[in-house]
Chains A and B, each alone.
Chain A
Amino acid sequence: MRASAGPAGSAGALVRLFHVSKSYLAGSWALRDVSLELVKGEFVFLTGPSGAGKTTLMRLIFAAEHPSEGQILVLGRNVSRVGPAAVAPLRRRIGVVFQDFKLLPRRTVEENVGVALDVVGVSQRDKRARVFAMLKRVGLQHRRYHHPLSLSGGEQQRLAIARALVNDPEILLADEPTGNLDPDLTLEIMDLIADAASRGTAVFVATHDHSLVEQYGRRVVRLEDGEIVQDAPVRGSRR
Chain B
Amino acid sequence: MSGGTAQVRTAFRTAFQGVRASPVTSIVAVATIGLCLLLAGAFGLLVSNMERLLDRFGEDIRVSAYLEEGLSPEVQAELLGRVGMAPGVERVELVTPEQALARFRAAQGERAALLDGLDRNPLPASLEIALVPEQRNQAGLEVLREALDGLPGIAELGYGAEWIEGYEQAVGLIRGVGISIGGVLALATLLIVANTIRLSIYARREEIEIVQLVGGSPAFVSSPFLLEGLAQGIAGGLLALALLFAFYRLMLPGLEEGLELLLGYAEPAFLGAAACAWLLLAGAALGFVGAGVALLQDGARR
Let me know if A124 and B6 touch, CB within 8 A.
Answer: yes
- Interface size band for A: 20 to 34
Type the 1/0 row for A118-145, where 1 means its CB is closer than 8 Å to any CB of B: 1111111101000000000000000000
CB contact list, B199-222 vs A, under 8 A: 206-207, 209-218, 220
A119-B216 in contact (CB<8A): yes
**Is A92 an interface residue, CB under 8 A from the partner?**
yes
* Chain B positions within 8 Å of A205 at CB level: none
Residues of A within 8 A of B113 (CB): none
Which of chain A's residues have a CB closer than 8 A to the CB of B3?
120-122
A62→B210 CA distance, assembly (Å): 13
B interface residue count range (under 10 / 10 to 19 / 20 to 34 / 35 or more): 20 to 34
Please name the residue on chain B nearest to A166 by beta carbon. Answer: B214
Which residues of A sit under 8 angstroms from B1, Cβ to Cβ?
Answer: 123-125
Q: Which residues of A contact B212 (CB under 8 A)?
A: 88, 91
Given A104-B207, A106-B21, does the pair A119, B9 have CB atoms closer than 8 Å?
A: no
B3 to chain A, nearest CB (A): 3
Those of A93-129 within 8 Å (CB) of chain B: 93-94, 96, 98, 102-104, 106, 115-116, 118-125, 127
Nearest-neighbour CB distance to chain B for A169, whole angstroms, equals 10
B6 touches A121 (CB 8 A): yes
Across-interface contacts of B213 in A (CB, < 8 A):
62, 64, 91, 96, 98, 102
Residue A32 lies at the interface, judged by CB distance under 8 Å to chain B: no
Pick from A89, A91, A124: contact of B214, CB under 8 Å: A91
B6 touching A119, Cβ below 8 Å: no
Q: In whole angstroms, how far apart are the Cα atoms of A93 and B214 in the complex? A: 9
CA distance A88 to B216 in the complex (A): 6
Contact of B217 among A62, A88, A125 (CB under 8 A): A88
A122 close to B6 (CB less than 8 A): yes
| Pair B211/A115 contact, Cβ less than 8 Å | yes
Cβ of A66 under 8 Å from chain B: no
- With a cutoff of 8 Å between Cβ atoms, the chain A residues found around residue B4 in the complex are 121
Per-residue CB contact flags for chain B residues 1-23 toward chain A (1 = under 8 Å, else 0) read 11111110110000001000100
> How far is B3's CA from A121's CA once the two chains are assembled, in angstroms?
4
Interchain CB contact under 8 A, B218 and A119: no
A102 to B17 Cα, complex, angstroms: 19
Residues of A within 8 A of B211 (CB): 115, 119
Chain B residue contacts of A93, Cβ below 8 A: 215
Cα of A157 to Cα of B190 in the assembled complex, Å: 43
- Which residues of chain B have a CB within 8 Å of any CB of chain A? 1-7, 9-10, 17, 21, 206-207, 209-218, 220
Chosen A-B contacts, 5 in total, with CB atoms closer than 8 Å, are A91-B215, A98-B213, A115-B214, A119-B214, A121-B6
Q: Which A residues lie at the B interface, using CB under 8 A?
A: 62, 64, 84-85, 88-94, 96, 98, 102-104, 106, 115-116, 118-125, 127, 163
Q: Across the A-B interface, give the 4 residue pairs with the lowest CB-CB distance, nearest first.
A: A121-B3, A92-B215, A91-B215, A88-B217
Supply 7 further A-B pairs (C-beta < 8 A) apart from A62-B213, A96-B214: A88-B218, A89-B217, A90-B215, A104-B206, A116-B215, A118-B220, A119-B211
